[in-house]
Structure 1
């Protein structure tokens, strides 16, 4: 079904309204407004009768795994329901492709702000708010890794065998999948870093929930207290080793080096905790032991570089904007270089 980039067209709104009525969720859909769009998944705010909700669906040019990604996110919402982990509450999901042509779901609209694009007045006025919210963010990440998942929908993502041993091969396959007539994966020189990661892999630990893309662009913060209102963008969530999330936030933390410019508006105000303080807050909240932290940081560099390189490949195929593609390719190249530094004992992230 046709859809304008980043939002829902009239036919989609009508189809959604029919589905909402059929499911008994409400009677009318109105006030549709885009929250994000373009190359990533589409998120729109709307009203069902007088209730404000958010709809999430794949991008206008869905990737081959886009519907599976939405199914994964539905399982996340269902698994975390009632937990202490901050997340948008799940309302309903739809896997019937006759409705919008893709899998989609509805969730509660969270009252919070994204620190990549906004800075709430309370944070602008008080550096201690900015400092405390960073520490609370690391603590919430530790709580996510300890959250219950067995016997819940996310259990379907748990695979037997070594999670860590699968990482390098899986992400090299992902990088190769970007290949087309205008893009060669060899331009991102991952071989040396990949070999080190395979050769220095730590033992597997008890599996737990991973967000998979934890950084300050993927949270909403409460406006008046220094707390995370919700982790968002769960498309990379899995059951694996939660220490990879810790490595990920350290790599993406808006401090020198800052390879992806996460949490831009919050970071620009200053006062955020150091990476060392994040590690302490994570540990104090019951996080996993960190004796192999260098490996997890290097792996985060490797994985993040390959993930964001996909936008460059899509740009070269005419499916993403030039600015995003070229900017993320530069970041991916820089991340591989930073990962190599970690392997030599020169860890710029701690």
Structure 2
């Protein structure tokens, strides 16, 4: 997801957001919030939902809405993001303050919500972390892990999220979901991927106590301030109630020390001072009290998910439906993550 710190592209009225319509709605719903004409800029870098910086010349906010052309079930998506961020506001999990949810597509053409602009920057790869130096890198990644422990320590019923998902059978549904995604984009032979899927199903662990799951937890989905502390966890569109170790497995995958070369996939583990995955897993276990003995299964599952996602991008690229720098190399990366997944299963 794009972050609120990225410099926006100047525009008084970017696609998908009419500042005058937004101003009129805010004046009706939050009188006195806005003190002048609004201008908006699209924050670049988002992968799905669109993110804008909005200002009246004095105050600034962030607006999130679905991609242009998306009209099906988007109210649900925006409402879910708004709901979980609002619910986590009083907890130890750093999230932006929420201002308003609008589920009426007549205002901006789709449902949207407004939240506070948070300070901080994202770190997307090992090179950016390396510029901080070993000590600061260690502090940032440690806080990332501790924030995940805090999230998984939130009692869903205590913040009104007891019905936010269906924890029973979560891992099985997740695996079936990604199997379907693979089938929908499969256009070539992918040695090992069927074995990886079959072994994941055969060795599926029994989930422990459920928690609020972020669904895409990694360093470039948080903002970090100049004190090397996380100010906001972003990109909650995949959040639900489920098995929290799926978040840990995903984070472990992105923190591996051997990054895949020439890839747009975020990887931070090679930065000097970055804690090892074993250290992060041990710290998570100590902080959360959860059994992490099957963490290699969860990391293998994360590798399978990423392989499927990348194969989908490759498939759309071959059809001419996806354009972008580096997309021509995406297909070459898929076998690497299949191999990584099988390696993690052998360690399980």
TM above 0.5, yes or no, is yes
* Structure 1 residue 48, shift from structure 2 partner: 4.2
| Distance in 2 between residues matched to 1:280 and 1:11, nearest whole Å | 45
Does structure 1 residue 163 correspond to structure 2 residue 170? Answer: yes
| Distance in 2 between residues matched to 1:230 and 1:245, nearest whole Å | 17
* Structure 1 residue 290, shift from structure 2 partner: 0.5
* Structure 1 residue 18, shift from structure 2 partner: 1.6
| Distance in 1 between residues matched to 2:256 and 2:187, nearest whole Å | 30
Moved more, 66-75 or 248-257: 66-75
SS at match of 1:220: strand
* Structure 1 residue 216, shift from structure 2 partner: 1.5
SS at match of 2:288: coil
Contact 1:139 1:284 in 2 (8 A): no
- Tell me the residue number matched to 2:103: 95
Moved more, 307-316 or 138-147: 307-316
| Distance in 1 between residues matched to 2:272 and 2:264, nearest whole Å | 14
Aligned with residue 28 of structure 2, among 22, 26, 40? 22
- Tell me the residue number matched to 1:113: 121
SS at match of 1:98: coil
SS at match of 2:52: strand
| Distance in 2 between residues matched to 1:115 and 1:28, nearest whole Å | 33
- Tell me the residue number matched to 1:75: 83
SS at match of 2:18: helix
| Distance in 2 between residues matched to 1:323 and 1:126, nearest whole Å | 29
Moved more, 270-279 or 192-201: 270-279
| Distance in 1 between residues matched to 2:254 and 2:37, nearest whole Å | 37
SS at match of 1:191: helix
Does structure 1 residue 133 correspond to structure 2 residue 140? Answer: yes
| Distance in 2 between residues matched to 1:311 and 1:17, nearest whole Å | 37
* Structure 1 residue 157, shift from structure 2 partner: 3.0
- Tell me the residue number matched to 1:204: 207
Does structure 1 residue 8 correspond to structure 2 residue 17? Answer: no
| Distance in 2 between residues matched to 1:145 and 1:169, nearest whole Å | 24
Contact 2:16 2:108 in 1 (8 A): no
| Distance in 2 between residues matched to 1:156 and 1:328, nearest whole Å | 37
* Structure 1 residue 64, shift from structure 2 partner: 5.1
- Tell me the residue number matched to 1:305: 307
- Tell me the residue number matched to 1:272: 274
Contact 1:29 1:46 in 2 (8 A): no
Contact 1:113 1:120 in 2 (8 A): no
User: CA distance change for structure 1 residues 325 and 151 in 2, over 3 Å: closer, same or farther?
Assistant: farther
* Structure 1 residue 289, shift from structure 2 partner: 1.4
- Tell me the residue number matched to 1:334: 336
Segments of structure 2 that go 5 or more residues without pairing to the other structure are 1-8
Segments of structure 1 that go 5 or more residues without pairing to the other structure are none
SS at match of 1:157: coil
Moved more, 80-89 or 47-56: 47-56
Contact 2:71 2:110 in 1 (8 A): no
SS at match of 1:99: coil
Does structure 1 residue 54 correspond to structure 2 residue 62? Answer: yes
Moved more, 184-193 or 105-114: 184-193
* Structure 1 residue 244, shift from structure 2 partner: 0.8
| Distance in 2 between residues matched to 1:26 and 1:55, nearest whole Å | 14
| Distance in 1 between residues matched to 2:24 and 2:41, nearest whole Å | 19
* Structure 1 residue 109, shift from structure 2 partner: 0.7
Does structure 1 residue 229 correspond to structure 2 residue 231? Answer: yes
SS at match of 1:239: strand
Aligned with residue 295 of structure 1, among 294, 297, 302? 297
| Distance in 1 between residues matched to 2:281 and 2:298, nearest whole Å | 13
SS at match of 1:105: strand
Moved more, 87-96 or 152-161: 152-161
| Distance in 2 between residues matched to 1:189 and 1:269, nearest whole Å | 30
